[in-house]
Amino acid sequence: MKKIVIKVSINCQICKTQVLKAVTKLPGIDKVSVDGEKGVLTVIGDVDPVLVVKKLKKIGKAADIISVGPPKPSDQCKEIKFLDCRRPCPPSCKECHLIFTTYPNYDGGPCSIL
């Protein structure tokens, strides 16, 4: 059982969801938590830290391993207290925001690109 702390670029709720979806698919993970303000991903379980970073880079997120070590028994109590005080992430960021644009078509009808 290891506690892996990784620095990840998390700018909005969509980024946070993408990170969680990518990491939770890996086998051997017991617990995952993301701190959007600090941009820190914490993974607890029997998983290779390099695989976690590769998975994050595969979805286009810059990731750096901060620490790898045994989990502390008091970490769970601290995390529950912090969850109540954190501000939520914004709904989207510049990297994830979709833009709707229309261009005039040659035959007079508009062309839409999302």
Domain boundaries, the chain: 2-113
Q: Check pLDDT > 50 for residue 83.
A: no
Does pLDDT of 100 surpass 70? Answer: no
> Average per-residue pLDDT in the chain?
77
Contact between 53 and 82 under an 8 Å Cβ cutoff? The reply is no
Average pLDDT over every residue of 19-46:
89
For residue 113, pLDDT over 60 is answered with: no
Could you give the 3-state DSSP secondary structure of residue 8?
Answer: strand
Q: Which CATH architecture has domain 2-113?
A: 2-Layer Sandwich (3.30)
Please name which of 73, 69, 57, 64 lies closest in space to residue 23, comparing C-alpha atoms.
Answer: 57
Strand partners, 101: 113
Does position 29 have pLDDT exceeding 50, yes or no?
A: yes
Q: CA distances (Å), 47 to each of 35, 36, 62, 96, 114, in order?
A: 20, 22, 19, 28, 38
